Amino acid sequence: MSDPRVGSGLQEDVGIPRFDDRERAVEVAPAKEPTTPAEWAHANLFSSWANGIVTIVAASALGFFIYQLVKFVFVGAEWAVVEANLKGFAVGPFPLDETWRVWVSAYLVAVLGGLSAGASRNRITWTKTKTATGSLLAVAGAVIVVLLVDTLLVLALGFGLAATAGLMLVAGRALRERLRRPLIVAWLLSFPLVMVIVVGFGGVSPRLWGGFFFNIVAATFGIFVSFPIGILLALGRRSSLPALRTFSVVFIEIFRGVPLVAWLIFSKFVVGLLLPPQMSEPPDIIKAFIVMTFFSAAYVAEIVRGGLQGVHEGQYEAARALGLSTTRMMAFVVLPQALRSTIPAMISHFISLYKDTALFVAIQVTDLLEAARRSAVGLEFFGRIKETLLFAGLLFWIVAFSMSRWSQRLEVRLGVGER
Amino acid sequence: MAEEQLAGDGASHMIVADDVKKWFGPFQALKGISMTVAKAETVVIVGPSGSGKSTFIRTINRLERHDDGRIVVDGIELTDDVRNISQVRSEIGMVFQSFNLFPHLTVSDNITLAPRNVRHWPKKKAEEKAMQLLERVGIPEQAHKYPAQLSGGQQQRVAIARALAMEPKIMLFDEPTSALDPEMIKEVLDVMEELAQSGMTMIVVSHEIGFARHVADRVMLFDDGNLVEEAPPDRFFDDPQHDRTKLFLSQIL
Amino acid sequence: MAQAVPTQQRPPLWRDVRVLRLVAQVAFVAVVAIVLRELFLNADFNLSRRGRDLSFDFLRTRAGFGIKEHIISYTSNQSLLRAFLVAATNSMFVAGVGIVLTTVLGIFIGIARLSTNWLVRKMAQAYVEVFRNTPLLVQVIFWYSGVILTIPRIQDSVSLFGVVFVSNRGAALPGIEGGADFSVWLLFALAGIVAAAVVRRYRTRVHDETGRPHYRFLFGTGAFFLVAVTAYLLLGDPFAIQAPEQGVRNYIGGTQISPEFVGIIIALVLYTAAFIGEIVRGSILAVSKGQKEAAEALGLRPGQQLRLVVLPQAMRIAIPPINNQYLNLWKNTSLGFAIFFPELINVTGTIVTQGGAELQVFSMVVLTYLGISLLISLVMNIVNRAVALRGAKL
């Protein structure tokens, strides 16, 4: 993005060379880049009286806040509540002896993720600051994990996961381009495969899914299934047939205009009434997933519609002039261009959906947030809500933040808007 | 127009337009165009902007639907019949002012997309044809580049090759060089000239007077939705009959 | 090859483009109609089997349950319809207050994001990254359970100057107690606003004609206060400001706000402000650099550049996405359900428990959310057009 110092109005002029009255254009040397910490502080923090005061006030507020936070985390908090409930946070009421299924899925994702990261053309430039923060975070993460996990097996599996991802990263770097096609196919198959692993062969019904696992799976399911529906709705909204267009508009506006919580509760109480009486009522969670899918599809439709609008009219004309049928035109010419430009918005929508999965508590699903809340209500750890919330919040945040960063890098690489 | 003329005598009339009219809302863009194009003929249409030239050639391949009158292409009448439309389109190739190449496909893929998906040619045959056409327009080495990597003139030549890949009997050109930098106009016009000389039936909407003089069999002036004058180039440019033509020529020459 | 051309005739129906389009639409509408009919019949059958129906009569029955806080008056003796309206107005009140507060905070954050002060910039960035990427529900529960319920009990209320109290029972602020002539005074206040507008116009004209600084904001506010204070004195105490008192179990008097309300408002405002901040920042950056350079070249100071050139253009870019955020805030009031704030979802849940009628209640919920969303969009559209006309040309 462009210069962040664009006029804030809180600041005096940075020196601008002006023509002096002697009518000689004086060539002014470019502003010296601050090199020492003192110079830098002067330029960025204390460049004027007003600025200086602002810095002091902000710094003291920040200092106070950090002090309180650190005091809480290291002194006041009782982290045993997290340690004791870790399984609940991770998978909720999932039966303990079936958790191997979750581990297998996690390893699958780690393998694919590592390979993709390695094979990607996205290179992170490892500046000194980045390496320093990166290693610090990695060490901190490892320490936290060791402190919180009490079972040796889980600890080993956890570190094994990280190691696998790292290994796959190296492998991905080595294989690069040859992996691109197979990886795309692999990712597309990964979700159905995970479903088979978790549910198949005497597996665990969705009714028992919970914790962090549930949030991730629900969001992924939502995106996967709503994607094709959303594309159809977007095409319908742009159709020249009024009936199709009206239907799409009404569908989209109704699902977008009502909060997800209301839809979830609707799915629990009302969907059953609308089904034929001979049919046995599907479990709550299935109904909720269906409703959530339509909800997500409405948003996807709007995103895709934006993408379609970005495709030049001439592309449609050229395709038609060549004799391509409407379906082929869409499949080979229009949609590939439209969808590529929507990738950042799609990722943003996925993040929103992922955050929204916390709302499933409304239909008695014990996702990560609900697990966090419940663990602070039992006798043993009564009132320890701050610790559990902080932990749960952090887990949610890490995923959302990483995805958002990734999306920002993608946006730059795709040069969205340039073609 | 007499029915026999519409039917065509032998192979001579490729395109017949009879009193074609078109409205955009209250605005009448075509006010009754009647003309014919014979096989292997090259017709150049000139005229001020807004005169209906582009609209007219777009009605010939149904990118616009004519509201009145009749259009017959190679004996097939252009109506609301989906089969007719499809047949007509398969006989006509079109080149646009803004090239409209598919940016996400390579040059070669751009050319082979339609033959493979509409005529169901096998990949190898389509790619060989693509290379032949790229040779013909002079840029075989660009086959695996993407459109954004080519100059404007090269892109337009690819667009011509793409249209030719469908083996059309008629080629329509809608201001093919208007979006090009001056130094690239010649390379495209040269390709179009070669095409005309090889016997392609062509209708070209253009401002390139040199091309019209040199290559056209007939030149037509459109103005305000009407076909004002048509004549072989010598007579059109040197001895125009209508005042409107004289005015137009005085403005551009 | 040319062949004998058929005289102009309609193409066979099954190949006629226009007929095909019509048929496609009719078929589509038919399918949708059949599905809807199926759903309706199922509902009807299932309901009658349970001894219920699709009427709205249940709305007239007595509610029989209490609602903790309400903007409009309510007792448990009133109808279920009344209860619904109370819940709806509660939600709308939260949204209204929330929208105002979050806009102010959001603009502040957006500008802070662009500050030349590194510390301020980084803090604003941290704020946005934290609040945007944490689920709103986590934030709601955090503010409510983690903060508000853990602050001191009423006996140990934190108090500011003896007139503002905060405890885990909520907050109490000084409130306005209207006397006999309060409505009359309100009319005067309205007149004061009109007077302020007139004075502002006058000062602007003076400024245009003579170039003297207009100070129109000062003059305008001055005019308003002149009228308001005069009216107050003339009417003799049309209202009094009542400070709350700390009682044993609760507060007495003043304006009281429940902890649930505080919880949901804080969470909504902080969360949405992060998004609005990004929108503000993005729209200021989107105003082309050339605009700022031109303004600078003309000699305008940075503050003036921002106010006169950049912001008016940035506002036009910002309004549609901000509209979206307002809609989100309105829909997110539903998260109050998690902390038992009596908003629409919560109360309609109770209504359904009392009187059944899930389908009817749900359709009312849908209509309410959609209706207010439409209202918000309408208002923002008017704002958009007003700004567009006053600002730079397209």
pLDDT tens digits for range C147-206:
776 677 766 666 666 667 777 777 777 776 766 677 778 888 888 888 888 888 888 888
Q: Which of A385, A395, A403, A405 to mutate to test the interface with C (most CBs of C within 10 A)?
A: A385
Is the Cβ–Cβ distance between C270 and C99 less than 8 Å?
no
Q: Where are the alpha helices (DSSP H) in chain C?
A: 17-49, 80-113, 118-133, 136-141, 182-210, 216-235, 259-286, 289-297, 302-304, 311-332, 344-355, 358-390
Mutation target to probe the C interface, by most C beta carbons within 10 A, among B73, B74, B81 is B81
Residue located via tokens 């969808």: A339
Per-residue pLDDT reduced to its tens digit, C307-354: 777 877 787 788 888 988 999 999 999 999 888 888 999 888 888 877
Min Cα distance C225 → chain A (Å) is 30
Question: CB neighbours of C298 closer than 8 A, spacing ≥ 6?
Answer: none
For Cα atoms C325, C328, C329, give the angle at the middle one, nearest 5 degrees. 90
Binned at pLDDT 50, 70 and 90, residue A207 comes out as confident
> Beta strand C170-173 with B218-223: parallel, antiparallel or unpaired?
unpaired
Whether residue A91 contacts residue A99, with contact meaning beta carbons closer than 8 Å, is answered with yes
Per-residue pLDDT band at C295 (split at 50, 70, 90)? confident
Per-residue pLDDT at B10: 43
pLDDT at C304: 74
Structure tokens belonging to residue C237: 């105490």
Strands C251-252, B92-95: parallel, antiparallel or unpaired by DSSP? Answer: unpaired
On the 0-12 / 13-18 / 19+ scale of CB atoms within 10 A, A46 is middle
SS3 content of chain A, % helix, strand, coil (to 5): 75, 0, 25
Mean pLDDT in residue range C81-98? 90
Rounded-to-integer distance, Cα A136 and Cα A80, Å: 24
Strands C158-160 and C251-252: unpaired
CB atoms within 10 A of CB C282: 16
Flag whether pLDDT at C1 surpasses 50: no
- Please give the residue of chain A at the shortest CA–CA distance from C145: A385
The residue ranking higher by pLDDT, B207 or A84, is: B207
Interchain CB distance below 8 Å, B75 and C2? yes
- Tell me the per-residue pLDDT of C209-251, one tens digit each, with 9 for 90 and over: 777 777 777 888 888 888 888 888 887 777 777 777 777 666 7
Tokens (6 digits) for C324: 């979206």
Distance CA(B41)–CA(B201), nearest Å, equals: 5
Q: Give pLDDT, residue A357.
A: 92
Asked if A419's CB is within 8 angstroms of B63's CB, the reply is no
Task: Classify strands B92-95 and B76-77 as parallel, antiparallel or unpaired.
Answer: unpaired
Supply the ipTM of this predicted assembly.
0.81
Inter-residue contact B240 to B234 (CB < 8 Å): no
Instruction: Tell me the shortest Cα–Cα distance from A12 to chain C, in angstroms.
Output: 7
Q: Which residue from B226, B228, B224 is spatially nearest to B244, judged by alpha carbons?
A: B228
Instruction: Determine if residue B52 is left, alpha or beta; phi over 0 gives left, psi from -120 to 50 gives alpha, anything else beta.
Output: left
> Would you say residue C298 has pLDDT above 90?
no
Contacting residues of B for C6, CB less than 8 Å apart:
77
What is the maximal distance between C-alpha atoms in chain A? 96
DSSP secondary structure of A261-294: HHHHHHHHHTHHHHS-TTSPPPPHHHHHHHHHHH
Contact criterion met (CB < 8 Å) for B81 and C16: yes
pLDDT band at C277 (very low <50, low <70, confident <90, very high): very high
Q: For residues B57 and B37, what is the distance between their CA atoms, to the nearest angstrom?
A: 12
Distance from the Cα of C17 to chain B's closest Cα (Å) equals 5
Residue type, C111: I
Higher pLDDT, C6 or A113: A113
Element (H, E) at B229: strand B226-231
C8 interfaces chain B, CB cutoff of 8 Å: yes
Structure token pair of residue C277: 């901040």
Residue C81 has pLDDT above 80, yes or no: yes
A with B: how many residue pairs have Cβ under 8 Å apart?
59
Q: Tell me what pLDDT residue C9 has.
A: 59
Q: Tell which C residues from 118 to 137 touch A, by Cβ distance under 8 Å.
A: 118-121, 123, 129-130, 132-137
Query: Distances from the Cα of C222 to the Cαs of A205, A291, A396, C116, C216, in angstroms?
Result: 69, 56, 51, 35, 10
Residue A114 pairs in a beta bridge with: none
Q: Hey, is the C-beta of C20 within 8 angstroms of any chain B C-beta?
A: yes
Q: ∠ CA C136-C142-C145 to the nearest 5 degrees?
A: 135
Q: What is the pLDDT of residue A4?
A: 40
Cα A303–Cα A308–Cα A314 angle in degrees, nearest 5: 165
Mean of pLDDT values over A375-388: 78
C136, β-bridge pairs: none
Tokens matching residue A353: 């959906």
- Pull the structure tokens for residue B234: 């010598």
Strand partners, B42: B202
Query: Does position C76 have pLDDT exceeding 90, yes or no?
Result: no
Of these ranges, A327-331, A335-339, B194-198, C17-21, the one predicted with the greatest mean pLDDT is B194-198
SS3 of residue A149 by DSSP: coil
Q: Report pLDDT for C5.
A: 42
Nearest to C93 by CA among C71, C69, C67: C71
CA torsion angle C332 C337 C340 C345 (round to 10): 100
Residue C382 has pLDDT above 60, yes or no: yes
- Helix A284-309, helix A335-356: angle, nearest 10: 140
CA distance C263 to C339: 8
- Counting Cα atoms < 13 Å in the Cβ hemisphere of C139 gives 24
CA pair distance A171, C65, nearest whole angstrom: 64
What pLDDT is recorded for position A417?
A: 40
For the stretch A300-320, pLDDT in tens is 998 898 888 888 889 999 999
State the DSSP code for C79.
B
Nearest residue to C262 (alpha-carbon basis) of C329, C170, C135: C170
d(CA B152, CA B175): 14
Q: Is the pLDDT of residue A3 over 50?
A: no
A2 inside 8 A of chain C by CB: yes
Question: Which residues in chain C have Cβ-Cβ distances shorter than 8 Å to A241?
Answer: 21, 24-25, 28
**Cβ-Cβ contacts under 8 Å, A328 against chain B:** 117-118
**How many C-beta atoms surround the C-beta of residue A385 within 10 A?**
23
Mutate to test the interface with C, among B82, B85, B87, B169 (most CBs of C within 10 A): B82
Chain A interface includes B178 (CB < 8 A)? no
Highest mean pLDDT (candidates A204-208, B8-12, C110-114) = C110-114
pLDDT confidence tier of residue C128, bands split at 50, 70 and 90:
very high
Contact by Cβ (8 Å): A235, A374: no
Nearest CA-CA distance, residue A322 and chain B, Å: 6
Q: Which residues of A touch C369 (CB under 8 A)?
A: 257-259, 262
CB atoms B118 and A322 under 8 Å: yes
Residues of chain B with pLDDT under 70: 1-12
Give the number of C-alpha atoms closer than 13 A to the C-alpha of residue B7, restricted to the C-beta side: 10
The larger pLDDT score, comparing residue A221 to residue A86, is at: A221
CB spacing of A272 vs C25 below 8 angstroms:
no
CA B140: distance to chain centroid?
Answer: 23
Whole-angstrom Cα distance, residue B67 to residue B2?
21
Strands of B218-223's sheet in order across = B92-95, B170-174, B201-205, B42-46, B218-223, B226-231
Going by pLDDT thresholds of 50, 70 and 90, the confidence category of residue A16 is very low
Q: For C131-161, give one letter per residue: b (16+ CB within 10 A) or e.
A: bbbbbbbbbbbbbbbbbbbeeeebeebeeee
Q: Which residues 6+ apart lie within 8 Å of A339 measured at CB?
A: A304, A307
What one-letter code names the amino acid at A193?
Answer: L
Q: Are A183 and A114 within 8 A, CB to CB?
A: no
**Residues A214, A204: Cα–Cα separation, whole Å:** 12
The percent of residues above 70 in pLDDT, for chain A, comes to 89
Tell me how far apart the terminal alpha carbons of chain C are, to the nearest angstrom: 54
Three-state DSSP class for residue A121: coil
Identify from A316, A322, A326 which residue to disrupt to test chain B contact, counting B C-beta atoms within 10 A and taking the largest count.
A322
Give me the pLDDT at residue A18, please. Answer: 37
Mean pLDDT, chain C, rounded, equals 81
Cβ-Cβ contacts under 8 Å between B and C: the total is 50
Is B117–A314 a contact, with Cβ atoms under 8 angstroms apart? Answer: no
C345–A55 C-beta distance less than 8 A: no
